Every structure is written in C-alpha cells, then in structure tokens.
Amino acid sequence: MTENMVMGFAKGLTPHTVLFLVDKPEKTVSLAPLLTRLKYKLVTAVSLYECLRLIDQEMPHLIVCDAILPDGNAGVLYDRMQQQALYRDIPVLVMIASKTREQLNPLKGRKFAGFLLGKVEPKAMLAKIVEVLESHQDVSPFFIRAEDGCLVVDCTLAAEAKVVGRVGDQMVCQSEAEVDPDASLLCQPQEKGKGPAIIRLGSNVHRSGSIYNLFPLNQAKGSGRTWMSHLPEINLDRITGGQDKRGRVLFYDPKIERFEQFKRVFEGYDIDLIHAPSLQAAAAMMGREADSGVSCIYLDELPSTAAGIAIKDAIQKIPEKFRPPVIVATTALNSRSTREIRYIRKPFGLGILVEALDTAIKSRMNFAEGAGTKLEIHYQTPAKLLGLDETGGILQTKWPLVVGNKLILQHPELVKMWEGSAEVKITSIVRMEPTSNIWQIKFETITAQGSKSKYWEKISRHLSEKAIESAG
C-alpha cells in the first residue's frame, strides 16, 4: 500500500441506489423518506421485465424484491442476473410473505443476501438494507481498487481559473470552482516565465453567475509571489452603492470587555464593529442590519441549540443580494465551512481574524468590467486514486474540496479510458478522522452519464486488458 493511503472507506461517502421489485409500488412509500435521509436513491419496478431494464440503466447496489412476482419470482431474477458477469455481485434481499412452498421453493440453492419474513416494519427493513450495504465496505459492489486494476495511484486535481487582479492585499481569480478555505492549492500560471505559488485561506464570491476566488497575498509561498506583487488594483464599487469604504461587521461576543478591545483594534483597519450581546440578539439584528451596509457577520461559536438554529434561519431569510458572509470562531473539530458560513478554529491569532474579516468585506464588492488582467492559471492539488466504480471513483487528498465543483483529473490512464475527457464532478467528501488531514472524495465522471452498464463494461474491459498486460 502506498505511503499515507488508508485501508478503509468513509461511511456515507458513496451514495447507494436501492432497487425495489414489488407487486405494488405503494409498498415503498413509508420507506422512501428513511432512505432519502441516508442519501440513498430509491428506484421502483413492478415487473421482472422493468427490473431488468432498470438494472441495466442504474446498476443498483442492492435489490429488494418480493419472492413472488406478477411475471416470475425471485429465483428467476437471480438466475437472469447470474447469466451476466456484470450483475453477479449485486446483492438481492428477498421479502417472503409467508412460509409456503410457492414462496420458498424458488429460493432454494441460490445465494441471496438475506430474507425478510412476514410483514416487516420500515425501520427494521432499513436496518437490514444498511447491514447488507455495509458488508460491501461502504463502497459500490462494483468498486475496483486502483492497485487491483493495475492503475497508477498518484494523480492531480486541477481547476481552470483566471487571475483578474487584486483588491488590497487579496488576489482575485475568476473560475468555475469554489475553493475551500482550509485547502492549500498550487497556483500554476499557463504563461511561460511566471513561477508557481502555494495559495491558501481562499474565499468565494458569487456575482452575476460568475465565481470569484480571493486569496490573501501575504499567505502565498513560492516564486509566483514575484508576479503576484505586480498585479493591478481592481476598481471596486460597494454593492450597497454607498461611498463609505469602511467595513461594518455585526459582531457577536458574549463578553463586552473583549468586544470593546476588538472594536478599538479594528478601528485601525477601517472596520466598524456592531455589538450583538447574545445569539438571540444577533438573530434579531441580522435582518435589520444586513440591508443597511453590514459587510460581514462574526459569531463567537454557533451551537446546535435553538439559538444556533435561529441564527441559521435568520441568515437564510436575508435576501441573497444583501446576505453578508458569516464567520464563526469555533473549537468544534468537525465544523465544515460552507458557502454561507466560514469557520475559523480557536485559538487563532489576531492576524487570522483580520484576514478573515478583510476577505469577507472585500467579497461584498463588485469588480469593474474590463479592469485588471486575465492571466490563465490552474489550481492544482495532489491526490491519490483509491479506485473506480460505475459512476466514477474515490480519491484521497490532504485538503478538503467543495462538493459540486467540476474539476480536471490529471491521470493519463483514466483520460485514455474516458476517451480524452478529464472532467469530473465532486459529489461527496468525508474527513477520515476529526483531527486527521486525510479526506476521501467521491467523484463522478462526465462519461458515465447515461447507461451505467455500458460505461462500466467499457471500463472493466480496459482494466482486464491492463491486468493481462501487467501479468505478461
């Protein structure tokens, strides 16, 4: 196993598809919300013919079927699946209405994943479904590890972007991808003669259908700092239309003495702090202040209590064009930054807080059209390929990525299999341990859209040929 590669897979990383083959679709109604809560996809068929068509299209991770079907039985389904190597590993869970010969005979001599006898409550059925799926180690039953497929493990994830200038000490890039503030990225210019740099503490701004990424220049490391120091200043206009360039921050801190200290310090940075003495007060002030020039909201902790929920509700009620960024100082290790909320870990120095507030305030500004430069770059981060499945595969990185991003997976062998396409979409991400720097990422490839079985047949054939070549 390659150094730093983990042996197991994160729970909840791979979304599962469960296909129900039942005589009446109403049988799945009570189970549907439970499956949705676990992020399982539910597909229903009411005949053996329809089920076989959906298997070909969806390649489900589990089939739950009635023992007796309108046009066959569970034994016929099992035999049909065994005739195709592609479907032999799909587990089948059988619902037996009663212990009669008609129900039991078709099941003899066949290796089903399990049985559910009589009338089964939805929660009990869900528990059995989860048990069967977890037996596949939380991945797709079609999953092939990279080493088993003789694939190179090391690869790179990249996103195309353009540097458009700077706002104060923040480099501004336009891209189609959001960046995670916890990630360190290699900024690789496409222009010869300009060196690369490691950039971090990024934030995201959405304007007129475009995504802008901001990075503090004083955090950049590498030879690229030279060209970064000469970026043109972009003309900025406040979104609120006002002429006052001072930032205004709604600042929740339960200790008034600490707030007063921060207020005096931030006056030197042209930032006004508006005190919220409690979370309840902050929630009440949000709607009142957000449309009157507040550039950012700062919260000292955001608990999962009623007060914390009220804060999140208050944020969502603010019209998007007025909704300011939210920064939360926290000691919770499992807090994850989102588009609306950025978490900074305690303890932190004053410089980290200044940078966070400054970036948030800058994000409330518009970029003048035609200003700045258009230097083409790639954001790059190293990754390790853990394996492939019928929709894409699983990667491992040292930095988090943002779900929904479309990135370029630089892996020559996969690009060849995908017939020249390298674009992938990040569908889920899980941190392996609360304090670890190992993240597992589920991705889908664009070429897997449509019939999953046709895609997986092609990939399986490539992997088999490669295994034969390696053995020879």
Check if CATH label 3.40.50.2300 holds for domain 17-139: yes
Residue 310 CB neighbour total at 10 angstroms: 16
In this prediction, residue 126 carries a pLDDT of 92
In this prediction, residue 288 carries a pLDDT of 66
Which backbone phi and psi does 402 adopt, to 5 degrees?
A: -100, 125
- Separation between Cα atoms, residue 244 and residue 294, nearest integer Å: 12
- For 378-471, CATH gives 2.40.10
> Across the 472 residues of the chain, what is the mean pLDDT of every consecutive 10-residue run?
59 91 88 88 92 92 92 92 91 91 88 90 91 83 91 94 89 88 92 93 78 92 94 58 62 90 86 88 73 78 84 81 84 79 85 82 56 82 95 92 90 90 91 84 85 89 83 67
Which backbone phi and psi does 76 adopt, to 5 degrees?
A: -65, -45
CB 159 within 8 A of CB 379: yes
- Separation between Cα atoms, residue 351 and residue 316, nearest integer Å: 29
| Residue 1 half-sphere exposure toward CB, CA atoms < 13 A | 8
In this prediction, residue 368 carries a pLDDT of 42
Residue intervals of the chain classified under CATH 3.40.50.2300 are: 17-139, 160-367
- Separation between Cα atoms, residue 404 and residue 4, nearest integer Å: 26
In this prediction, residue 236 carries a pLDDT of 44
In this prediction, residue 346 carries a pLDDT of 87
- Separation between Cα atoms, residue 210 and residue 176, nearest integer Å: 7
- Separation between Cα atoms, residue 154 and residue 382, nearest integer Å: 7
CA distances from 372 to 210, 303, 367 (A): 16, 41, 9
Tens of pLDDT, residue by residue over 131-158, are 998 877 778 999 999 999 899 999 999 9
- Separation between Cα atoms, residue 91 and residue 30, nearest integer Å: 22
- Separation between Cα atoms, residue 439 and residue 336, nearest integer Å: 12
In this prediction, residue 241 carries a pLDDT of 35
Instruction: Please state which of the four CATH numbers 3.40.50.2300, 3.40.50.10710, 1.20.1600.10, 3.40.50.1390 is assigned to the domain occupying 160-367.
Output: 3.40.50.2300
- Separation between Cα atoms, residue 385 and residue 396, nearest integer Å: 6
In this prediction, residue 227 carries a pLDDT of 95
First-to-last CA distance in the chain? 22
Q: Which residues contact 277 (CB under 8 A, 6 or more apart)?
A: 252, 254, 256
Four-residue CA torsion sign, 159, 162, 337, 265:
positive
Tokens of 154: 């090391």
Sort residue 343 into left (φ over 0), alpha (ψ -120 to 50) or beta.
beta
State the pTM of this model.
Answer: 0.70
**Secondary structure class of 402 (helix, strand, coil):** coil
In this prediction, residue 242 carries a pLDDT of 37
In this prediction, residue 289 carries a pLDDT of 54
- Separation between Cα atoms, residue 264 and residue 273, nearest integer Å: 9
Q: Where are the beta strands (DSSP E) in 67-196?
A: 68-69, 72-73, 92-96, 114-117, 144-145, 154-167, 170-175, 185-189
C-alpha gyration radius of the chain: 27
- Separation between Cα atoms, residue 120 and residue 191, nearest integer Å: 64
- Separation between Cα atoms, residue 160 and residue 52, nearest integer Å: 41
Nearest Cα to Cα of residue 289 among 249, 341, 347, 244: 249
CB 385 within 8 A of CB 156: no
In this prediction, residue 292 carries a pLDDT of 54
